[in-house]
Structure 1
């Protein structure tokens, strides 16, 4: 699969159908441990059910290999009499990483009267300052990088963590195998991986109703823990740098700027077809992409094949977060990818005041941008097929008055809707953790929990919503 990784990062698409066929053959043959679940997230045509099957097959040999060691350790749990719930956040990204940029204000907002917050870190300190800020937001910061899987699990269990929150899933440098030891009585899949971990690794997944509708529950091994708005946190303190000139950003002085700063592996030929149609139909426009030395030449060639001059693609250098947010204001419209949406890059764009057009699919990663747009009160920017996606983007690019109205609405909603209200988000997440913990204390198994926010009024408990629906049907 290393060749597959490289080809997707280079935007070499000739073998996509071949790779999809091979993956489906491997899944049908129950070939365990062959295909990383992460590969399926950005591969067009894969279903959430196939993503779950892949996750379970991936972990099967890893779980079997640790069976005797896990049996020897056989962690047990009492019911803590502590007044505070002890949360353990598990990740290798406690540094200047997208996950930490999203999380830091949430961690700083946690109610220390009700929760103890522990970090279990198995990643490096990049020296950029975020690690020190994060350390201050935890009650304890434990470096487990040098520990074996079983030693790390023993450390977490020894600290009597009540709820262990995994922030990595099957992303790069993960140590998901720690979860297989079940070092905490409740384990939660949250934020870092947009999909199920499969098997018995986690009891709950933090989500929202748009992201994972109730009828998709069979595609997840975890029970849904619903937040009332979006699953994704984002604070209000992220500074936005000065906006450079278009020339300083490598853009021409005139012309509409379509933008997508997603990683190159998320770009698919069907989406790129739409982008090139937009460039053809909006004279003078450019497509502003994130620089990737491996992909740049291939993308320019693909544009040529679609009748677009290669210089209509402009590639942006990597920048520190503050500068990145500042330059985003030069974009007129952000175009999303499918089936792996923009995640942090979507909330970055909205925070910087730039509208985003998305196409929602049927899997978790294909619905993230839609989740964010709902939470900021812009559902009109969500489409459900690529033709509608093209038409909406074209309309906004050629009707300045409509685009200006969307931008005015975004500016008005930015601090008045839930998406960037980190304090309310934190209280909602803490309410989920308290419900999860109370269910455990009461001996109840994991089940769908959470709330939805009514258009006018307080959030409604999921159980109350179900009961109301049953009354309406009867």
Structure 2
């Protein structure tokens, strides 16, 4: 059995699902061994041999029926019980397969393949510790059992004992050096350990042995992406798709990887294929890549629902939680891989620090890399308790959350990089909330609420979201008023910018730049003499393609200036060198927009239909700058040109932004903490009253109101 990483936008660093049928071993000596005491009579032996022949020729259902005939006469016939269990597993009947394999082992516990097959079945059923025990028994009986060592590694990897898993794969390869699946599994473990270069070498070894190993091509792409060699990564994903055209969710990952390097060849057809696949219910893309390409909340929900059903089905019954006792404060836990210097943490820090101990007892569950930086130090002081759960399974984290009595679990990751939706599928708390990290619906039945505002999710669009909406006053996005830019002045020359030119700016990630957006920017450069476009340098490949595209529009590539990634304070400070931030669509700037506005740089946005395309509009509404929000590309181009050629109008906007950013609740983390606490109290009270989640709006005065008549009547 081999494992595959989910083809997601980020390629999570551990294998989450079993690809295809398990490698199920029968005892190889079944047909050749000498008859033992109590051997089958000739007629029954012939029936058994017929069953084995059918089984070996790919007919497990017909074989199973014949094994049953043998067992009706000889119910303790080990081989028939064992192989009937194998057939059940091949037919997808895991429960019966486990039962028959366990019955066979009770008759004869000395057969290694039986323990191996039972281990595979238990692994498929998510019973990780029992599966590991089976593999341990299999290798104890047969120390050179390469496949058992490899699948033992899979069990350990699912248990998040990554170093032990790597050792087990190495034992498998010591037994069988040409074992492609073991090299592949070893690569997965190395990815999980943050060693992509070593992982790449393992995947290459697997492919040298089996060039048609589609999973190895896929995860090789993940290793290359982690190494920031995105063009070869996309090529590796493409090879996996050629070998397996319906590879679950890989098309979207491949397309997203190409967008990261601004490879727009065939994009119109590829986007149409993506849209058609989602509408048809295909497993074509993880949710995140869809946000940047399709401005449709309906399609985004379909994509997320298909992904959640396939990868993260509910693992805890809705009634798994006992009724909560009325208590104050409410135990609220935040779950993230980003409790360090990270964009989401920068937004949320002040709100976390400002939670009232009388209303909320705040926990942090971290499953990202350990960090010792300024942000993690502030977080440690903000949380009542911080728990590193990086080496715990989803089920273990959920059990710990329940043990601690968490009332409300807040998912800060959604479907973004290093996310773990399985935590919430396992049931961390009786109320589970999606907030801040993922700008869209989770489309699950275990995320109860989504925190938003009426701009990012207009009430008329609530039907496109599986969660009940919680509307905050103003903007949903938290911000930290304590963030300060670097104090040292930076000249334009030091940043590679012309001193007197008009500087259009966009620091969004390159995958958000569509060819239509870029064409509009090139027309602006042509219309505003001497102007330049200042972009974030995501990769050299992306920069080269953008320069080539500029030339195709008749614009000299030198008018594109690329900014390297720098620290947060330095990044904030360099906004002073720009004149106007040009947003992308259909996926806007989010944290990037807050950075620009907090630094005093006006931002122009096109407001779309879906959450991800309305975030910048929400920020601008909260700041009282609606004139920087347009709804069409034409209006965007006209407004940008007008501002670039009217210094007085732009200066007036800058002055208003400078005044309003200091007085607006948008940049007041303390006010956000109060709003969140009101929302949490409303959610918790409904839970205490035995009522289902309901849409609600938090008011600026600290009260809230329910949005649906039935919910009002219930209370």
Verify: 1:109 aligned to 2:359, yes or no. Answer: no
TM-score when normalising by structure 2: 0.62
Structure 1 residue aligned with 2:308: 59
Partners of 2:652 and 2:295 lie apart in 1 by 36
Q: Name segments (4+ residues, structure 1) moved above 6 Å.
A: 464-467
Q: Is the contact between residue 288 and residue 315 of structure 1 (CA under 8 Å) also seen in structure 2?
A: yes
Cα deviation code 1:348-407 (max 9, x no counterpart): 111111100000000000000000001111111100011111111111100001001101
- Give the SS at the match of 2:651: helix
Structure 2 residue aligned with 1:185: 430
Partners of 2:532 and 2:561 lie apart in 1 by 7
Partners of 1:194 and 1:127 lie apart in 2 by 28
After superposition, the CA RMSD in angstroms is: 1.9
Of the two, which has the highest radius of gyration? 2
Structure 2 residue aligned with 1:279: 525
Shift of 1:462: 4.2
Structure 2 residue aligned with 1:472: none
Structure 2 residue aligned with 1:214: 459
Partners of 1:87 and 1:391 lie apart in 2 by 46
Shift of 1:22: 2.4
Q: Is the contact between residue 120 and residue 142 of structure 1 (CA under 8 Å) also seen in structure 2?
A: yes
Partners of 2:694 and 2:320 lie apart in 1 by 23
Shift of 1:463: 4.4
Structure 2 residue aligned with 1:132: 377
Match 2:339 to one of 81, 94, 108: 94
Structure 2: state its 5+ residue gaps. Answer: 1-249, 711-715
Match 1:49 to one of 298, 301, 322: 298
Structure 2 residue aligned with 1:25: 276
- Give the SS at the match of 2:493: coil
Report the more deviating stretch, 151-160 or 98-107.
151-160
Shift of 1:460: 7.5
- Give the SS at the match of 1:415: helix
Q: Is the contact between residue 675 and residue 702 of structure 2 (CA under 8 Å) also seen in structure 1?
A: no
Verify: 1:253 aligned to 2:494, yes or no. Answer: no
Shift of 1:61: 2.1
Cα deviation code 1:37-76 (max 9, x no counterpart): 0010001x44110100111100112245x75xx46x9732
Q: 1:189 to 1:183 in 2, by over 3 A?
A: same
TM-score when normalising by structure 1: 0.93
Structure 1: state its 5+ residue gaps. Answer: 468-474
Partners of 1:384 and 1:29 lie apart in 2 by 29
Cα deviation code 1:197-225 (max 9, x no counterpart): 00213111000011101000111000110
The equivalences for 1:17-416 within 5 A come to 17-32=268-283, 34-43=284-293, 45-64=294-313, 67=315, 70=316, 75-241=320-486, 242-292=488-538, 293-416=540-663
Partners of 2:439 and 2:433 lie apart in 1 by 13
Q: 1:28 to 1:406 in 2, by over 3 A?
A: closer
Report the more deviating stretch, 189-198 or 371-380.
371-380
Cα deviation code 1:217-274 (max 9, x no counterpart): 1110001100011000112110111330011111112100000000000111111111
Report the more deviating stretch, 139-148 or 127-136.
127-136
Partners of 2:307 and 2:321 lie apart in 1 by 26
Q: Is the contact between residue 257 and residue 286 of structure 1 (CA under 8 Å) also seen in structure 2?
A: yes
Partners of 1:175 and 1:37 lie apart in 2 by 14
The equivalences for 1:435-474 within 5 A come to 435-451=682-698, 458=701, 461-463=704-706
Q: Is the contact between residue 125 and residue 131 of structure 1 (CA under 8 Å) also seen in structure 2?
A: no
Q: 1:74 to 1:444 in 2, by over 3 A?
A: closer
Count how many residue pairs are aligned between Structure 1 and Structure 2: 457
Cα deviation code 1:149-179 (max 9, x no counterpart): 1111111111111000000000011111111
Partners of 2:285 and 2:320 lie apart in 1 by 30
Q: 1:415 to 1:16 in 2, by over 3 A?
A: same
Partners of 2:564 and 2:556 lie apart in 1 by 21
Which has a greater percent of helix?
A: 2
Structure 2 residue aligned with 1:471: none
- Give the SS at the match of 2:594: helix
Q: Is the contact between residue 678 and residue 704 of structure 2 (CA under 8 Å) also seen in structure 1?
A: no
Partners of 1:343 and 1:464 lie apart in 2 by 27
Cα deviation code 1:7-42 (max 9, x no counterpart): 10001112222222222332233224x410001000
Which has a greater percent of strand?
A: 1
Work out which structure has the larger RCO, using CA pairs closer than 8 Å and 6 or more positions apart in sequence: 1
- Give the SS at the match of 1:288: strand
Structure 1 residue aligned with 2:25: none
